[in-house]
């Protein structure tokens, strides 16, 4: 274990004092002893960064070991707040951690933590009760195969967090040790605090006269795009855990993006929501991987045509290096700023469904203009004989679809998943289940009528948003069976039981011969095909986007 050395700029020598004395005469400053670096922000917050190895990754060098705000301790004394499970447990081939600190100038303090291929920064700015943080790694931490910063705050000091992730008073785990049942039949899990990335700017919890928040940056180093969901909070009998995800394995749809400086800020308030955070001053802090405005470009779109006014649209930019997104404006234009140089795939999303893709190149200090174009891949553009749901990449309009992200499918608040036959022309979208599992609702019926003029070749289109254990639909119409459909490319994690329906949207196009159809009543029977096994809600299954029957082109 390499112990840290306090590094001090020359002009500061006269201002540092021993840790046993006051932090700083002006209420802002850095002190050190053999165990901690102590930073007084001068804004009511004093925090400590551990320098030494206690022989346990729950108290690792580089951890936040103490956070005292307005005289109250907001750090678990037994477990640090840290990246993953401790800086000395990030990489299988590395345990050494180096922690250094300096007062950069009269108004800024920087602590640098190095562990293997990862560097993490804590920064303080005079007069602000905040800890600015940044994390960069050139190789994904491989002991957990993820990267996250987790804050552990005593629950008594910060008791009010998101209800779906508050597991206090639970009656025991019902799935994998991280999904819990409650005495009243409801369910709770850290997974159910999630929100789509594009929908949140901060996460956190509150207590008596305090709010503790983590405010995110543009999330360019994450993977999964604007609609990615992952755990954010967990309230236990001992701690309020607030987790900022940099890269995460649950329901991961694309490769990780190393090499990005990921920035986020811990903010204390009197209980109100955090304000907008200015981080432009980080450009002067000599942070590895920092790219300022001059090193970034802009993408400007003049007009996207062919959109459906009933839905919101998002423009996504993605490459192996970075990701960005922006909303499509009402006039069809869009603008993405602060984009790292490189070649990107530009995707137009109708809600969460990709309906157009094209390539753009971004150059530093320049604007890439995208000429007007019309979306070309919206399944809803074809006339349908009948349709269940909306082609928008989400099951939210289907039965239980609006609850999937907040509770387990077995939750007492869910409507029964096994449903009566769906009758075209009579039933509504809310009558058709958002998900289908082989051992839960393994057979679903759709009844529809055709007249003699409609007995011709048709295409049955089935859209799924995610799948578990290789699950995909099986199709029978009257006495005709379709062939076995291909396995879609999906995340290998549980997805449907951990608060997300987001996977890789897949559209199955089944050609239905005229001989399969009859005049009058027809019955479509949908099942679940898979070569894998599972029990209950962990049996093979998938979530629906939409289903329709369209005439052959």
Residue 26: predicted pLDDT: 62
Dig out the tokens for 325 from the structure: 């997104």
C-alpha–C-alpha distance, residues 375 and 378, integer Å: 7
Mean pLDDT by 10 residues, the chain (553 residues): 35 32 63 98 98 85 98 96 96 95 98 98 98 97 96 98 98 97 98 95 97 96 94 97 93 93 98 96 98 97 97 98 98 98 98 98 98 98 98 98 98 98 98 98 98 98 97 98 96 92 97 98 98 96 98 95
Classify domain 293-377 at the CATH superfamily level: Carboxypeptidase-like, regulatory domain (2.60.40.1120)
Residue 12: predicted pLDDT: 36
Domain 10-284: state its class.
mainly beta
Contact 375, 306 (CB under 8 A): yes
Residue 493: predicted pLDDT: 85
Strand partners, 122: 111, 133
Residue 58: predicted pLDDT: 83
CATH entry, 380-551, from 2.60.120.260, 2.40.128.120, 3.40.50.1970, 2.30.30.100: 2.60.120.260
Compute the chain's Rg from CA coordinates: 26
Q: Which DSSP string do the residues of 179-244 spell out, in sequence order? A: EEE-TTS-EEEGGGG---GGG-SEEEEEETTEEEEEEE---TT-SS-TT-----EEE-SSEEEEEE
The domain ranges of the chain are 10-284, 293-377, 380-551
Residue 444: predicted pLDDT: 98
Q: Which DSSP string do the residues of 48-90 spell out, in sequence order? A: EEE-S--SSGGG-TT-EEEEEETTEE-S-SSS-BEETT-GGGS
C-alpha–C-alpha distance, residues 83 and 60, integer Å: 10
């Amino acid at each position: 274990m390499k112990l840290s050395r306090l590094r001090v700029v020359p002009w500061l020598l006269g201002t540092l004092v021993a840790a046993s004395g006051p932090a700083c005469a002006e209420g802002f400053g850095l002190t050190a002893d053999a165990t901690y670096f102590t930073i007084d922000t001068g804004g009511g917050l004093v925090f400590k960064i551990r320098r030494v190895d206690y022989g346990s990754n729950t108290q690792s060098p580089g951890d936040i070991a103490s956070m005292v705000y307005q005289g109250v301790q907001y750090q678990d004394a037994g477990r640090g707040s840290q990246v993953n499970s401790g800086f000395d447990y990030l990489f299988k081939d590395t345990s050494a951690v180096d922690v250094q600190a300096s007062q950069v100038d009269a108004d800024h303090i920087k602590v640098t933590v190095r562990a293997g291929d990862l560097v993490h920064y804590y920064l303080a700015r005079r007069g602000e009760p905040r800890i600015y943080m940044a994390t960069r790694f050139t190789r994904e931490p491989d002991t957990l195969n993820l990267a996250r910063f987790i804050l552990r705050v005593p629950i008594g000091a910060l008791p009010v967090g998101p209800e779906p992730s508050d597991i206090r008073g639970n009656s025991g785990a019902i799935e994998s040790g991280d999904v819990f049942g409650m005495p009243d039949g409801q369910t709770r899990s850290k997974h159910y605090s999630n929100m789509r990335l594009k929908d949140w700017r901060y996460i956190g919890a509150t207590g008596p006269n305090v709010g503790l928040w983590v405010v995110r940056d543009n999330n360019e180093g994450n993977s999964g795009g604007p609609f990615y969901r992952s755990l954010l909070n967990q309230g236990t009998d001992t701690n309020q855990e607030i987790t900022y995800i940099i890269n995460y394995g649950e329901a991961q749809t694309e490769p990780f993006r190393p090499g990005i400086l990921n920035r986020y800020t811990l903010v204390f308030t009197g209980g109100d929501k955090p304000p907008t955070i200015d981080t432009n001053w980080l450009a002067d802090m000599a942070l590895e991987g920092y790219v300022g405005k001059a090193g970034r470009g802009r993408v400007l779109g003049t007009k996207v045509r062919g959109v459906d006014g009933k839905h919101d649209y998002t423009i996504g930019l993605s490459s192996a290096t970075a990701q960005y997104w922006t909303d499509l404006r009402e006039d069809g234009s869009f603008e993405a700023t602060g984009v790292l140089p490189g070649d990107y795939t530009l995707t137009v999303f109708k809600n969460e469904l990709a309906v157009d893709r094209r390539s753009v190149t971004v150059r530093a200090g320049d604007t890439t203009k995208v000429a007007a174009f019309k979306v070309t891949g919206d399944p809803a553009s074809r006339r349908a004989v009948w349709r269940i749901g909306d082609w928008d990449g989400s099951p939210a309009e289907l039965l239980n679809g609006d609850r999937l992200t907040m509770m387990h499918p077995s939750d007492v608040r869910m409507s029964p998943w096994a449903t009566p036959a769906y009758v075209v022309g009579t039933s509504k979208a809310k009558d058709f289940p958002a998900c289908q599992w082989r051992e839960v609702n393994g057979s679903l019926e759709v009844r529809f009528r055709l007249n003699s003029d409609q007995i011709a070749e048709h295409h049955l289109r089935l859209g799924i948003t995610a799948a578990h254990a290789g699950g995909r639909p099986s199709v029978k119409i009257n006495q005709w069976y379709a062939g076995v459909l291909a396995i879609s490319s999906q995340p290998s994690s549980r997805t449907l039981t951990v608060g997300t329906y987001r996977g890789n949207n897949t559209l199955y196009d089944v050609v239905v011969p005229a001989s399969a159809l009859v005049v009058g009543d027809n019955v479509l029977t949908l099942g679940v095909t898979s070569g894998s096994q599972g029990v209950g809600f962990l049996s093979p299954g998938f979530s629906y986007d939409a289903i329709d029957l369209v005439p052959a082109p």
